[in-house]
Amino acid sequence: MLELVDWSKVDAEVEALQKKFIYNPKLNTLTLHIRYPYEIDLDRIQNYHDLVGWIHHMAGKIWIERDHIGYLIERICQIKEWRIY
């Protein structure tokens, strides 16, 4: 049987996830507030190859989850104005 999606719950979950990723344009950093603040210097990510390296690095953290990795990719690409698809 199909269940109806509670879009207000989905929206709340997305909003909560977005609040965990804070971009500082002056320092060009992205700080993840998941278990504790973890700052990523975006000057170290100059191309897709660098991004893959960071994804690999972050995937090894015990406190990061699949949805965090997905949003990390989306957020960095948004900041860098890179296309994902």
Mean residue pLDDT across the chain? 92
Domain residue ranges in the chain: 13-80
Cα 4 from Cα 83, distance rounded (Å): 32
The arithmetic mean of pLDDT across residues 2-18, rounded, is 81
At 60, is the pLDDT very low, low, confident or very high (cuts 50, 70, 90)?
A: very high
At 85, is the pLDDT very low, low, confident or very high (cuts 50, 70, 90)?
A: confident
pTM: 0.85
